[in-house]
Chains A and B, each alone.
Chain A
Amino acid sequence: MSDLSDTSGAATTGADRIAVASQSQLIWWAFRKHKLAMAGLVITVILYLIGAFAEVLSPEDPNDQDRRAVFQPPQMIHFVDTSAGFSIRPYVYAMERHRDPTSLAVTYTASDRKIYLHLFGKGAPYVFWGLIPGDLHLLATEDPSDRVFLFGADRLGRDMFSRVLYGTRISMSIGLVGVAISLILGVTLGGISGYYGGWVDTAIQRVIEFILSLPTIPVWLALAAALPPSWPIYQQYFVITLIISLVGWTELGRVVRGRFLALKNEDFVIAARLDGASEARIIFRHMLPSLTSHIIASLTLAIPLMILAETGLSFLGLGLQPPAISWGVLLKEAQNIRTISQAPWLFIPGLFVVFSVLAFNFLGDGMRDAADPYEQ
């Protein structure tokens, strides 16, 4: 095997490589061919990195209000400064606020004053992951009393850019945690149900049907009402995640069961059984791998569904509550005619939702295709 690991070796032909490569290598090669999937992977990784380093990447404290910046539109970063000769130095123009006394509408005009920015400057203090205190920001204003609004400001004059970055952390992780819970429940119960059949199947099916047949809204309401208001945000976060994962697992369970039912009479399963393979081996070694593609397809669809479910819950007032920041919370705040007509930049979190959902789907798509053992 050792010489085969040298993929650049001239003696090794492409066909030989494929014949002897490990499965994970095969999958990776196949995956790379799928361009949209690669793009999806990159975006997903970037989003998780943003979530991980939100404190450093955001220029402001996401809860910092500023009355002078209420509904301030996004500021463009300029790089070339010609005011005092030519220099490359990022800056934005400061904005001035006016309020129309009758319509009460607020408008902003760019002034001549420039707010200079620099990389890794000091800014609002934070505690990274709640553990390490710091005040270094990737992008900071040179004068700490100035503020910069790359995605504009919301109705309390808070920086949308920072809020979106913090929201990324919560929303992206809710999908991941939720889908993990769904996966465990769905595959275990669906698999058992489909493989054993008989009364086990009947019992599990009835339980799944029972849960499915309860309309979700009363369930959510009941659970949300049971949430004590004094709970800290992270505790609420886990309960909401749990509530959301209840959406996904039954569906996955049903699908897995259907596949198991169909698979268990396939020749290769019967052959394994006749060979005296243990049931665990039959399930995990023979049947599950042939389901992987399907499970992955369902999972990659489930993560974005949970991200969306979180936004829906927030809309109904049942999800995370401010001061927690998630895409759902941000979109809920943008849910009104005023935002559409006066402050469309508040819908930027919606773009993030769309991008993340797209990325997940393409990623899952590529993974599914690549993992398919019969491919090529």
Chain B
Amino acid sequence: MIWRFIIKRILWMVPFLIAVSMVSFLLIQAPPGDYLTTYIAKLAESNEVMDQASINDLRQRFGLDQSIFVQYWKWISNIVLHGDFGMSFEWRQPVSQLIWERMALTLLLSMATLIFTWAVAFPIGVYSAVRKYSVGDYIATTLGFLGLATPNFLLALILMYIGVVYFGSDVGGLFSDPFKNAPWSWDKVVDLSRHLWLPVVVLGTGSTASLIRIMRANLLDELNKPYVDTARAKGLSEFRLIMKYPVRVALNPFVSTIGWVLPQLVSGAVVTAIVLSLPLSGPLMLQALMSQDMYLAGAFVLMLSSLTVIGMLISDILLVLLDPRVRYE
């Protein structure tokens, strides 16, 4: 039964991804102008004169003179048939060279943030539901809200300023200089873990608070159900009593966050990543979108959408496993 459900959901992804790819492509093309407008702008600043003939030549070279359907078809068929994501106009480099490492680091950071968020939110959420209105509940929720209430980029900028000016620490980034371009090694992993905490904390503060809230709200709903009273009456220890059923049920919406936490982090992280100079996909994507570097932007949008779809698939499956009441038909 569960396998049928999973296979069905996977099959669903195919038309879904096709639709996502089309809409992504349309979105990227939506703003007026194309990459050439950006390029001409750049040249104009360094006083290079570009006449109409050269502009037309370039437009042809980049294939921007064709209709949007032809462009889409060329793009998607190259990806599907050859695994070729095309050329970044701006960097004059194959897109596939540019995205993988950034995507990997983005995934890594997202996972680290997710784990951090859960590790903080879960115990606090349970605690503040069970000890409702205690001093601990107030302190925990206030701190959680403070994290939520501070705009991430503001927090990042201020933390960085304090770190640099008063403690002489590195400015942003995920690695120290010697490791930036070094191949992966144990030392590099250690170095990464040393730098990772700042973005993880900055990014995690926002979602932690909302998860605490959700956990607390769900658990409170469950704790008032008759079966809890029954279990308590039967003499189950308070800890087991809470952990065994109510927490499991309350986890339900928690799990459905896996799906959307990734795109949210990637989008939300753009601003933070820009401020902290993190080599993530967000800033590169934003820049590609701004300069209408469409193959690069397209690759990012497509990758992120696909990851989200996979994330949602995982969370749906987990949901079914955790809560037998949710039927998978």
Contact = CB atoms under 8 A, between A and B. Distances in A.
Interface in B115-141: 132-133, 138, 141
A106 interface: no
Interface in B254-293: 256, 259-260, 263-264, 266-268, 270-271, 282, 285-286, 289-290
Interface in B187-234: 206, 209-210, 213-214, 217-218, 220-221, 224
B217 A297 contact: yes
Given A350-B151, A372-B220, A212 B27 contact: no
B161 A341 contact: yes
Contact of A217 (B151, B165, B224, B270): B270
B299 interface: no
B107 interface: no
Contacts of A305: 210
B243 interface: no
Contact of B16 (A209, A347, A361): A209
Contact of A212 (B157, B224, B297, B312): B312
Contacts of A304: 148-149
Contacts of B240: none
Sorting the interface of chain A by its residue count into under 10, 10 to 19, 20 to 34 or 35 or more gives 35 or more
Give the secondary structure class of A's interface. Answer: helix
Interface string A190-213: 000000010000000010011011
B325 interface: yes
Contacts of A293: 217, 220-221
Given A225-B32, A258-B319, A357-B148, A297 B27 contact: no
B263 A213 contact: yes
A87 B258 CA distance: 64
B23 interface: yes
Contacts of B104: none
Given A214-B23, A217-B285, A222 B31 contact: yes
A258 B253 contact: yes
Given A218-B289, A361-B213, A335 B30 contact: no
A315 interface: yes
Given A217-B286, A225-B30, A297-B213, A316 B252 contact: no
Contacts of B297: 218
22 contacts: A36-B138, A209-B16, A209-B309, A209-B312, A210-B23, A213-B312, A215-B263, A218-B289, A221-B30, A254-B256, A298-B214, A301-B209, A301-B213, A304-B149, A308-B149, A312-B268, A350-B150, A354-B149, A356-B149, A361-B148, A361-B213, A369-B132
Interface of A: 34, 36, 197, 206, 209-210, 212-219, 221-222, 225-226, 250-251, 254-255, 258, 261-262, 265, 293-294, 297-298, 301, 304-305, 308, 311-312, 315-316, 331, 335, 337, 340-341, 347, 350, 353-358, 361-362, 365, 368-369, 372, 374-375
Given A255-B253, A262-B252, 15 more contacts: A206-B16, A212-B312, A214-B305, A221-B31, A222-B30, A222-B31, A258-B252, A261-B327, A294-B218, A308-B149, A354-B149, A357-B145, A361-B145, A372-B220, A372-B224
